Amino acid sequence: MQKTNEDIWKKVLAKDEVLEKEFTISDRYIKISLITGIIIWGLLSLAGGIGIPFLLIHLFYFLFYIKKANAYAFTNKRVLIHKGWLSTNLVSVDYHKITDIFVEEPFLGRAIFNTGALAIDTAGTSSKEIILKNISEPYELKKILDELKDKAN
């Protein structure tokens, strides 16, 4: 498996921990959002004024930031969620603390972007603590997570 965020995982993985699955925001979601933004940029350019700054921010966000700032991984022991780029936040959930795993596929997300969300609940709260949005193949990721969770317990 190619490690696209090796620098992130190198900082947090224990010596006996193995990276099993790494993923991020769906490529299709990024491409469609990028194209939509370029179309909006074209319309704003016709209206004058804010077109170029909008385009530059949009390109930076979808070509660089969104993938770098949303790194997710399953290891042989836990789920890792790394958010942010300049300021970062890492959430780590051991498999034995996971009580429920949900897949959410809103109609537009599924129909247009071919994406969904994976929601993870842990003991002690009534809400889903972790929601990984706009990911490809959420059902497949749930299967992988279920298998890893069963192996770890």
Encoded tokens for 9:
């995982």
Closest C-alpha to 82, from 35, 14, 122, 130: 130
* Residue that has been written with the tokens 């074209």 in this structure: 42
Q: Tell me: the pLDDT tens digits for 43-70?
A: 777 766 666 777 888 899 999 999 889 9
- The pLDDT of residue 1: 47
What pTM does this model have? 0.87
Residue type, 4: T
Q: Does residue 153 register a pLDDT over 80? A: no
Domain made up of 19-152: CATH architecture: Roll (2.30)
| pLDDT tens string 81-140 | 999 989 999 999 999 999 999 999 999 889 999 999 999 999 877 667 789 999 999 999
For the chain, the structural domain boundaries read 19-152
Q: Using the predicted structure, report yes or no on whether residue 145 has a pLDDT greater than 60.
A: yes
Q: Report d(CA 23, CA 59) in Å as an integer.
A: 21
- Of all residues in the chain, the percent with pLDDT exceeding 90 is 67
Predicted local confidence at residue 82, as pLDDT: 96
Q: Model confidence at 7, in pLDDT bands (50, 70, 90)?
A: confident
| Strand pairing category for 70-75 and 19-23 | antiparallel
Q: What is the mean pLDDT of residues 140-145?
A: 97
Taking only the tens place, the pLDDT of each residue in 66-75 is 988 999 999 9
**In this predicted model, which residue has the larger pLDDT, 151 or 48?**
151
